[in-house]
Structure 1
Amino acid sequence: MDRRAAKSLRQRPQRPPAADGGPEVLEFTEVAVPAPQAGEVLVNVGAVALNNTDLWTREGAYGRPDDPKALSGWRGPIDFPRIQGADVAGRVAAVGTSITGGLVGRRVVIDPAIYDTTGPDAHPVGLMGSERDGGYAEYVTAPLERVHDVTESPLTDDQLATLPTAYGTALGMIERGQLRAGETALVTGASGGVGLALVQIARARGAHVLAVSSGSKIDAVRAAGAHDVIDRAGDIPEQVRAVAPEGMGVVLDVVAGELVGEGLPLLREGGRWVIAGALGGYDVAFDVRRLYLHNAQVIGSSMHTPAYFGLLMDLARRAEVQPVVAAAFPLDQAAQAQGELSRREHVGKIVMHP
């Protein structure tokens, strides 16, 4: 690859300057094409998907263990300027030294996680677009072991870009919650990126899927695979009892808040409540007797492991899930795209094209 020719391209990724804040802190600018280091791959971005973590990283909304209201990124302070964007699908443009095997030109998806150790069961402790530069750009680099060849997948680049964070988080929740075929699963926030992924993967696993949604989104959630849809505007526990009086085997929850305390009695004996978000509030209280007297579990789940991401890429190659793309924006409209995401009026995922 001619580095000089590449540098002449309009390298204009989205960068927040040295401050947390609203969409106004996003700056559209030019930077040099990153050079892949030894063991790294340079990817020409075809599509990048948006996630709630983009909003919360930009806002510094994650808090710290010692101060829940402190401005902070996912795992601590963010070094600005930072190119956002965790979810990338594209083609390999160049490789660093020591890499062989004809990867250039292959279509790939990047695992955006930064792990705490090596091995298939490592935990994510950082994220592309947060702890290192991401895919709101024409080019991004990634370690070779995080680049997955999906050239043969029938999914589009837009669909592939939706997978890493949303579907990776969903698969991590389902695996950690040990969802089994024939069990009843309740999915909260079912019209969002992770929620819709949970509905699709749980249905593919053979679960009976109940989903919480509302208004015009209900039909889309049902079309994604939900057997029954619970109206968020009503009494959720009462509706669940009406359609599933035997109780839930697993609750796959990205909302948390008051629903945890209200809904814990809905679990069957040995049931699991898996939490991977706090859209409804992070300050949770529940009757602990409903936990230990029924051998129930409350499980925290943050994204995926390398092994889970490998399973996800197998699903992508076989197109066993069909991601829903709600809207696509050009990269220079990143502020508008994040505004659309924050309004939560869409079903599925929002993507951008460099």
Structure 2
Amino acid sequence: MAASDTMRAVRIAEHGGPEVLEPTEVPVPAPRRGEVLVQVSAVALNNTDLWTREGSYGRPGDPEALSGWRGPVDFPRIQGADVAGRVAAVGPGVDAALTGRRVVVDPAIYDAEGPDANPVGLMGSERDGGYAEYVTAPAERVHDVTESPLTDEQLATLPTAYGTALGMIERGRLRKGETALISGASGGVGLALVQLARARGAKVLAVSSGSKTGPVREAGAHEVIDRASAVPLAEQLRAAAPEGIDVALDVVAGDLVGEGLPLLREGGRWVVAGALGGYDVTFDVRRLYLHNAQVIGSSMHTPTHFGLLMDLARGAEIRPVIAATYPLEQAARAQEQLARRDHVGKIVLRP
């Protein structure tokens, strides 16, 4: 257990700007039956941290409503979905041999027990997360990565960005030799998609802009298409993939869906896991049904996907890029940098 009964944490008590992130001292949580207590070594930031803080998810029937991604947030809430650390203590019914092991936490709260369960909640949103010195998690969601050559910071980047990316790739059934289009390729999920799609043996076309195209190419993209170019995007895509695209892995949405759907090959799949370019989408539905195409929504990952990701982490088959590291107390500054979107890679807090 912790040397003291309190810990440093950063939490939000309401929706708002970075100013609502409040450094504070709170009791160290006690692991309940079936849970472990993890001492947090590193916690990575995600867009969901910004959107949860701002309450910008909307609700069914009311897209402008202030809301977390699954409804109202139970304040005060400690943010932070992506935790790497060590098991400090175990609750009743948990194997004590886990104590001291280096772990990554699967942040998803699932709707069922099985390997293909859907995520319906998230650590840092529906339960307290890793913007703290300690966090509790169900023992079955804690993955032993003691042997991984990746650093704690690199491990912390994996759960949401790489989990979301692998979920998209699996749901889109991307196979070796297929052509993948990746939008928003310099962001956390985008770079993860580039690395994972390349590792799977796909031909990777990535959409990025300006100064970020170099790092995207380094991450494994075969071709990088500059969104800021004067040449229309669809024209650039057609030139880069004259045979068409098998799977689009899209975190931007907006106009890209309507522009890009006609570029899908027969039986192509358009997988959407974000709306950075806007949630209001228009497309020609004939391009969908006449070509047996599919538009697939993808939110996070299943327990099976996360297990595959941890295997990749143990073998260091992916190499996450760290853009910046901040101490816990500077969570607001870290979120401000994330919101500016002028970085490549992941931003990490070190409690």
Does the alignment pair 1:178 with 2:176?
A: no
Deviation at 1:147, TM superposition (A): 0.2
Which consecutive unaligned segments of at least 5 residues does structure 1 have? none
Cα offset, 1:222, TM superposition: 0.1
Q: Which residue of 1 aligns with 2:8?
A: 12
Kept in 1, the 8 Å contact 2:90–2:96? The answer is no
TM-score by length of 2: 0.98
Q: How does 1:1-354 map to 2 (within 5 A)?
A: 1=1, 5-7=3-5, 11-17=7-13, 19-234=14-229, 235-354=232-351
Q: Deviations over 1:143-174 (max 9, x none)?
A: 00000000000000000000000000000000
Q: What's the secondary structure of 2:205's corresponding residue? A: strand
Q: Partners of 1:55 and 1:100 in 2: how far apart? A: 36
- CA–CA distance in structure 2, aligned partners of residues 187 and 82 of structure 1: 33
Write the distance in 2 (CA, Å) between the matches of 1:215 and 1:188. Answer: 14
SS of aligned partner of 1:97: coil
Segments of 5+ residues of structure 2 without an aligned counterpart are none
Mapped to 2, the partners of 1:281 and 1:129 lie a distance apart of 24
TM-aligned CA deviation for residue 215 of structure 1: 1.1
- Cα RMSD of the aligned pairs, angstroms, is 0.7
Matches of 2:228 and 2:214, distance apart in 1? 15
Post-superposition offset of 1:289? 0.1
Residues in 1 aligned to 2:305 and 2:93: alpha-carbon distance in whole angstroms: 27
Deviations 1:53-111 (A, max 9, x none): 00000000000011011100000000110000000000000000111251111000000
Which 10-residue stretch deviates more, 198-207 or 101-110? 101-110
Would you say the 8 A contact 2:43–2:348 is kept in 1?
yes
CA contact (8 A) 2:31 2:89 kept: yes
Aligned-partner residue type, residue 4 of structure 2: A
* CA distance in 1: counterparts of 2:240 and 2:211, whole angstroms: 21
C-alpha distance in 2, partners of 1:100/1:24? 41
Q: Distance in 2 between matches of 1:185 and 1:72?
A: 33
CA distance in 1, matches of 2:284, 2:4: 59
Aligned partner letter, 1:315:
L
Query: SS where residue 102 of structure 1 aligns?
Result: helix
How far apart are 1:117 and its partner, in Å? 0.5
User: For each residue in 1:218-239, what CA deviation from the matched residue of structure 2 results, as whole angstroms up to 9, or x when unmatched?
Assistant: 1100000000000011321110
Output the CA distance in 2 between the equivalents of 1:113 and 1:319: 23
AA aligned to 1:245 is P
- TM-score relative to the length of structure 1: 0.98
SS of the residue 2:121 aligns to = strand
Structure 2 residue matching 1:169: 3-state secondary structure:
helix
Taking every aligned residue pair, what percent have the same amino acid on both sides? 79
Look up the SS of the partner of 2:26 in the other structure: coil
Structure 2 residue identity aligned to 1:181: K
1:6 shift after superposition: 2.9
SS of residue matched to 1:212: strand
- Partner Cα distance (2:335, 2:110) in 1: 27
Spell out, residue by residue over 1:278-303, the C-alpha distance to the aligned partner (whole angstroms, 9 max, x if none): 00000001000000000000000000
Equivalent position SS for 1:29? strand
The CA distance in 1 between the partners of 2:176 and 2:96, in whole Å, is 39
Distance in 1 between residues matched to 2:307 and 2:95, nearest whole Å: 21
